Chain A
């Protein structure tokens, strides 16, 4: 293995990051940009690994390593998109000094619930029937159930609560 081969997943990540910026600036939605850029990055890693003469186990290792780096990058983007803490930091940066009431006037629980309900409705994860919300899709519900299972294994907890979050 030479240094070029050792860095292959990093090149894939660099391509992934550059493409996300390019595609989202061209007007593609952030999620679609992330998917498309990830596919291109993975293609680049697989092709480079293959043409540099790597055997299957190393090709698999390079792909898995890139996938883990891409997953981390996706979560970084997701933090900017959905994390309450980051939004509060941006509000404090814009506002300078803010009292609690001023913070809540800029970013309240109602805003948080509105944005998330809109997102879940748009993605088909929930449906609104006669003013009541019911489950519409299974992807986010599956994620919630997987997290509950992980909580049970690690923490011995089965509930999903946000107090203190």
Chain B
């Protein structure tokens, strides 16, 4: 289909937002029907499937409006979709697992003007809540292995640890946490 000159400027914005919105809509519907066991993985696969299907449809159905036509236009749209899907996936990790800072703020806010003491905060936030479940996650995600009562990094964990150690070194930052 022949395109008017003005159509070429809205392709990325139009299809990028439409496909991302479609992915979010399917995500909301799926989650309200049944919560996946591995939520982040399911969400990543869903958003990737919608993006790839959408790009394939745009490639094959030439009658679609505002359709990208050249390699650079398809790449620009794919980049836009990838950036938004990645940003949402990262944000979703905070929905799946609450950060200690946000939990602390919520508890302090709930305590109102009288506030909350350190002892009251500590009572709910011990090692068994803040640290040990995270150690268990390392085993579940195959980042670490438990041998003879000791934890050590698995190859996947060695790679990720080296990646973060080097990036922290580049920033002249400490261990973090």
Residues of A within 8 A of B (CB): 1-3, 5-7, 9-10, 20-21, 24-25, 30, 54-58, 60-61, 64-66, 68-69, 71-72, 75-77, 79-93, 96-100, 103-104, 107-113, 115-117, 119-120, 125-126, 129, 131-135, 140-141, 143-144, 147-148, 150-151, 153-156, 160-165
Contacts and interface: CB of A to CB of B under 8 A. Distances in A.
B75 interface: yes
Given A6-B79, A83-B176, A89-B153, A24 B171 contact: yes
Given A88-B135, A88-B138, A164-B133, A134 B76 contact: no
Nearest to A23: B171
Given A72-B87, A143-B102, A54 B177 contact: no
Given A92-B152, A111-B177, A155 B95 contact: yes
B151 A103 contact: yes
B117 interface: yes
Contact of B80 (A61, A71, A88, A144): A61
Interface residues of B, number: 83
A15 to B, nearest CB: 16
Interface of B: 6, 8-10, 12-13, 16, 28, 31-32, 35, 70-73, 75-76, 79-80, 83-84, 86-87, 90, 94-95, 97-106, 108-109, 111, 113-118, 121-122, 125-127, 129-135, 137-138, 143-144, 147, 149-153, 157-158, 160-162, 164-165, 167-168, 170-173, 175-177
Contact of B176 (A3, A25, A87, A117): A87
